[in-house]
Amino acid sequence: MIPVLRHKIFRPGAAPTMADTYNNLVIIGGGHAASQLCASLVEGGWPGRITLVSEEDSLPYHRPPLSKAYLKAPATDAQLLRPESAYTGIEVLLQTRATHIDPAQRTVSLTDGRALPYDAVVLATGARVRRVPGLPGTLDNLHYLRTRDDARRLRTALADAGSVTVLGGGFIGLEIAATAAHLGKPVTVFEMADRLLSRAVSPEISGHVAEVLRQAGVTLQIASGPLQFEQDGRRFTGLVHQGQHHAIDLAVAGIGATPEVALAQAAGLDCDNGIVVDSQMRSSDRRIFALGDCVSFPYLRWGQRLRLESVQNANDQARTLAGVLLGQNTPPYAALPWFWSDLGLLRLQIAGLAPPHTQTQRVHRPGARADSFSVLHFDQGKLVCVESINAPADHIAARKLLEKGQLPGASILADPAVPLKAHC
């Protein structure tokens, strides 16, 4: 969910010609982007063959609930994004990993020894969790969360945990912290930065989130600085924070993610904080495309490159790529980014991206609940981003407004007596 900017000039692989045909398509990945691409291609009447290669043991499922509702409900399973019938006509290879792409031979090698031929291949490989430096990844009571299996193990461990320690004050870490507190567990969060969600939200939102978590019983150690870790065999037993010892029963690390680019790099594709693609999801090889969390793409609203980790971005890029593969007159990718997170009873929604040093205005609507407000971001007087706390109407209206080319001035938009939807 956090944008990472890059300023690299990209020269994509030669655009497809009339001689290029994409009848045999291989999609590598089993997340939101891959599922949406399959659906969009089927809806668009894709005439050729599609093979979906996924390391997971099930069809693509909803991932955001894994850090929230899934952990609270021991009898439920992850909800599929689409029913099995949605993949009719698509060859789905589960528990299968792509090990190599050969652009010269146009084949994808699999763990079962097969080599799939392709006319086009799509990398929807997502991102992998960042491991805690200085700690082995096999400690019994240290958990990371990325997949349904990760969430299942964490859910089981939470049931018996006496206390929970969270390393990292980003979205995943805080969502898990709020969920664990809801389950009645004593929770401590360690964040090295000087505020929570420092790379994703404004200081005002950070401060409000911190206060809500404290009221829920979560202990926050912000600006914690370097930590010293202790372990005994296969257990993470404690850490030292500013000279104070903190015992650990169950630990969860949420310190970010890195794009999964190993296949792309081995295939010789340009990579720079993700697989480098153009505004139609084309990599430096004209027959290899990529989308979702694993790509660095040109953000046309700023004229810069960035990488986004969000469901919205994955789905919208998949729709763009489907149009390209179907031979439609597809415009460059320019979808408005938007995000959301549930932290206990707090719902945070963000429309747009705020460049550094915007002017902000906090707005509380008359008659709205006391814990509802929005922070409007203005860049040279123009609305560029809206962060909303428990204010879904503001969020929906902000998305519509930010899609428009002409907007009222800051003083008009920030008038609390006039709902944002009145300007749509």
Task: Give the residue-averaged pLDDT of 362-390.
Answer: 94
Cβ distance 52 to 300 under 8 Å? no
For residues 20 and 405, the model is more confident at 405
Residues 269 and 375 in one domain: no
Residues 234 and 263 in one domain: no
Residues 207 and 271 in one domain: no
Q: What is the pLDDT of residues 266-280, one digit of tens each?
A: 999 999 999 999 999
CATH number at 267 reads 3.50.50.60
Residues 214 and 290 in one domain: no
Residue 130 CA: distances (Å) to CA of 98, 144, 222, 329: 21, 9, 20, 38
DSSP 332: P
pTM of the model as a whole = 0.93
Cβ distance 234 to 248 under 8 Å? no
Tell me, yes or no, whether 72 lies in a domain.
yes
Residues 122 and 141 in one domain: no
**Residue-level pLDDT at 19:** 39
Q: How far apart are CA 257 and CA 293, in angstroms?
A: 9
Tell me, yes or no, whether 186 lies in a domain.
yes
Dihedral (CA of 79, 80, 81, 85) sign: negative
From 253, 274, 300, the end of a domain falls on 253
How many separate domains does the chain show? 3
SS3 assignment for 32-49: HHHHHHHHHHHHCCCCCE
Residue 403 CA: distances (Å) to CA of 64, 162, 335, 337: 25, 48, 9, 10
Give the H/E segment covering residue 257.
strand 257-259
Tell me, yes or no, whether 164 lies in a domain.
yes
DSSP 282: B
DSSP 317: H
Q: Which residues pair with 108 in a beta bridge?
A: 101, 116
**Nearest by Cα to 124 from 323, 306, 264, 332:** 264
State percent of the chain over pLDDT 70: 95
Residues 60 and 207 in one domain: no
Buried b (16+ CB within 10 A) or exposed e, 59-92: bbbbbbbbbbebbeeeeeebeebeeeebbeebeb
Residues 281 and 391 in one domain: no
> If pLDDT is split at 50, 70 and 90, which confidence band does 7 have?
very low
Residues 9 and 122 in one domain: yes
Residues 40 and 102 in one domain: yes
Tell me, yes or no, whether 332 lies in a domain.
no
Residues 246 and 142 in one domain: yes
pLDDT at 12 over 50: no
Tell me, yes or no, whether 413 lies in a domain.
yes
From 205, 238, 253, the end of a domain falls on 253
Tell me, yes or no, whether 263 lies in a domain.
yes
From 205, 233, 253, the end of a domain falls on 253
165 Ramachandran zone, left/alpha/beta (phi>0; psi -120 to 50)? beta
Tell me, yes or no, whether 335 lies in a domain.
no
Residues 13 and 47 in one domain: yes
Question: What is the residue type of 418?
Answer: V
Q: How far apart are CA 240 and CA 70, in angstroms?
A: 31
Average pLDDT, the chain: 93
**Residue-level pLDDT at 22:** 85
Tell me, yes or no, whether 339 lies in a domain.
no
**Residue-level pLDDT at 356:** 85
Residue with tokens 């193990």: 153
- Tell me which of 21-35, 263-277, 398-412 is least confident: 398-412
Residues 301 and 274 in one domain: yes
Contacts of 295 (CB under 8 A, 6+ apart): 259, 274, 275, 276, 277, 281, 307, 317
Q: What is the pLDDT of residues 304-323, one digit of tens each?
A: 999 999 999 999 999 999 99
CATH number at 411 reads 3.30.390.30
> If pLDDT is split at 50, 70 and 90, which confidence band does 407 have?
confident
Buried b (16+ CB within 10 A) or exposed e, 296-332: bbbbeeeeebbbbbbbbbbbbbbbbbbbbbbeeebee
pLDDT at 120 over 80: yes
- Range of the structural domain that residue 384 is part of: 354-423
